[in-house]
């Protein structure tokens, strides 16, 4: 059974940094496309980032230059390093397995990031 478990969310001041983790079981993050998607409170879904099997990463314009996606194959874990956080980054962050880089078929339960002073 595939399970994705996010952690690392919390309250952070504007300009601060936070690292989210997505621990996977039932699949290998190294041999799958993996994505981060966020959802601001009461709002819709926004794609944030994707990491390819090759390690290549892509980002939404809204986070480019501030967020970095990586993975640790030995821990079977995906990460999202978030720097220079802004109030508009406040959201629940989900990780998802992306079969061919296109849509998410397995999703974690999400972790809430609140950026506020």
Partner 1 sequence: EIVMTQSPATLSVSPGERATLSCRASQSVSSNLAWYQQKPGQAPRLLIYGASTRATGIPARFSGSGSGTEFTLTISSLQSEDFGVYFCQHYNTWPTWTFGQGTKVEIK
Complex with partner 1: residue 13 or 61, whichever CB lies closer: 61
Residues of this chain that bind partner 1 (CB under 8 A):
35, 37, 44-47, 50, 52, 58, 60, 94, 101-105, 107-110
Residue 38 to residues 18, 54, 73, 74: CA-CA distances in angstroms? 15, 23, 23, 26
Residue 105 Cβ vs partner 1, minimum distance, rounded to whole Å: 5
Q: Using the 8-state DSSP alphabet, how is residue 57 labeled?
A: E
Residue 92 Cβ vs partner 1, minimum distance, rounded to whole Å: 9
Complex with partner 1: residue 24 or 37, whichever CB lies closer: 37
């Amino acid at each position: 059974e595939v399970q994705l478990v996010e952690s690392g969310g919390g309250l952070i001041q504007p300009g601060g940094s936070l690292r989210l983790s997505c621990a996977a079981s039932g699949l290998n993050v190294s041999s799958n496309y993996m994505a981060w998607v966020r959802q601001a409170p009461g709002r819709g879904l926004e794609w944030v980032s994707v990491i390819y099997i090759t390690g290549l990463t892509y980002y939404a314009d809204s986070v480019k230059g501030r967020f970095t996606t990586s993975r640790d194959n030995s821990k079977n874990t995906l990460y999202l390093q978030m720097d220079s956080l802004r109030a508009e980054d406040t959201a629940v962050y989900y990780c998802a397995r992306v079969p061919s880089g296109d849509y998410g078929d397995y999703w974690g339960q999400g972790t809430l990031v609140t950026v506020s002073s």
